[in-house]
Structure 1
């Protein structure tokens, strides 16, 4: 198989695209369910705090990334395997539930196509290497985090913390940067936004961002080293400001509404993965003459 991929980039690209579609379908589940799992766990903890010491544990239905099966939110129709084929099922069903004809959000096939496209891009960029495996895993994680934060203003520890450790583990073998730069990057990434958070809070008496943002930047520092942090912060800040102002104007929602920072960190992190030092040079030195 490896020899086939090495000899035929087209076959390798096709494999990556199909793999990305399949994983993208699973990422739709991750994006939808992880915030709900977090909410369920929080409610259970609150019930335990308020309950008497000898009270029995409350029974709740099993809810995780596998159980229960995906179902139509309108009528509860369980999605069959044939109805769950990435993109194709959506087109065949014309974007509607087979049972009740409720519209299905086009976001589901779009995330599948996005995952397939980005997976193919990074896979072909790095070739048949350990770096490609690492880059694809990072890409899948960032897609999940970007959409979860955009929906709920949450960056789950169940994704950000494993992502940090994965970055350090891959860099044990200098996959992206030497380990010492990765460790410093993780520490500096966390402290950079932590410091901004507390400075903003002391000045305004308000919270400007969440701790999930600190952990995501720490994870990106673990992957790309401390040298990449200035360009990641600058790019995410500029893109966040531009897109935030545009959304405020187009949606007429006002400038005071909170805006998640995680999606812009995720985009900046993925561009750093793909462009590396070229991105830093472009941002800080401009386009060479």
Structure 2
């Protein structure tokens, strides 16, 4: 129990720190702004932020979500992503108190970044999806469940299944129904979870999307068949619970 708490606290703190970077990346990358170069600054008044302004979650809470200099509202995406990254780390540590917890947390943090980018910009960068795939293969080679055979089959099956669905939809309707990044993302997820978990990921993603549509309809927002939706984000959101479920059946 002590080990689980230690892993959870450690990965949670690491997640909060990484969450700050992830939020900056999600906001700046689609705008083609540098994420690495230059010091952090207020997007409204351009004032350089000090160390006291950069403590994940705490700084925003103490400043009540506003810049200390100009009073402009800070993009809530910062604290939302920091909180999500902290939660991912804590849950990974509680799920498995061993180095595999770090692998699971990395999986969750990469999924969080992809989901946020898809929600904000309908964009799943190949570099990030490729990183998810490569790290998935690496964890398999290190012996993390599932084994490499299941992972490789999952990678091929994940990509091929969504690519076929997208190609079929385009042939029938004459327009794209899936983005080009969605099959790549499901393929990368398959390299983490193996082929057997892919149906569960697709089902959970579809149910999550349906729930969001129903909530929107109940609140008075109409839905149309040609509305654009970030399906990649739904896949990413579904994949992390699938990893947690997989742990319960790991040998």
**TM-score, normalised by the number of residues in structure 1:** 0.80
The 8 Å contact of residues 244 and 259 in structure 1, kept in 2 or not, is answered as: no
Structure 1 pair 101–117 and aligned structure 2 pair: CA distance change class (3 A): same
Judge which range, 232-241 or 217-226, deviates more. Answer: 232-241
Distance across 2 between alignment mates of 1:185 and 1:90:
41
**Matched residues in 2 for 1:245 and 1:211: separation?**
26
Which string of whole-angstrom CA distances, capped at 9 and with x for unpartnered residues, describes residues 102-137 of structure 1? 1113332122122111211112211122x1121011
Write the distance in 2 (CA, Å) between the matches of 1:81 and 1:67: 17
Structure 1 unaligned regions, length at least 5: 1-5, 38-62, 280-289
Equivalent residues in 2 for 1:103-118, closer than 5 Å = 103-118=73-88
Q: Of the candidates 40, 58, 67, which is equivalent to residue 70 of structure 1?
A: 40
Moved over 3 A (4+): 6-12
User: Aligned residue for 2:12?
Assistant: 17
What is the Cα deviation at residue 238 of structure 1? Answer: 2.0
Unaligned 5+ residue runs, structure 2?
none
Q: How far, CA to CA, are the matches of 2:118 and 2:127 in structure 1?
A: 13
Matched with 2:196 is 227
Q: Distance in 1 between matches of 2:37 and 2:157?
A: 39
1:156 aligns with 2:151: no
Match of 2:209 in 1: 240
Q: Which has the higher contact order (CA 8 A, sep 6+)?
A: 2
CA-CA distance at 1:207 after TM superposition: 0.6
Q: Structure 1 residue 250: deviation in Å?
A: 2.7
Other-structure match for 2:26: 31
Residues 40 and 48 of structure 2 are in contact (CA less than 8 Å); yes or no, is this contact kept in structure 1? yes
Q: Is the 8 A contact 1:115 1:140 kept in 2?
A: yes
Task: Give runs of aligned pairs for residues 200-279 of structure 1, distance below 5 A.
Answer: 200-250=169-219, 252-255=221-224, 256-276=226-246
Specify whether residues 69 and 247 from structure 1 end up closer, same or farther in structure 2 by C-alpha distance, changes over 3 A only.
farther
TM-score w.r.t. structure 2 length? 0.92
Q: Larger Cα Rg: Structure 1 or Structure 2?
A: 1
Q: Deviations over 1:163-203 (max 9, x none)?
A: 11111121124312121111111111101000000100011
Q: C-alpha separation between the residues in 1 aligned to 2:4 and 2:141? A: 28
1:253 and 1:34, CA in 2 relative to 1: closer, same or farther beyond 3 A? farther
Q: Using the TM superposition, give the Cα deviation of residue 82 of structure 1 relative to its aligned residue in structure 2, in angstroms.
A: 1.3
Contact 1:182-1:223 within 8 A present in 2 as well: yes
Q: Which moved more, 1:213-222 or 1:247-256?
A: 247-256
Q: Which moved more, 1:120-129 or 1:250-259?
A: 250-259
Counterparts of 1:21 and 1:273, CA distance in 2? 21
**What is the RMSD of the two structures over their aligned residues, measured on CA atoms?**
1.9
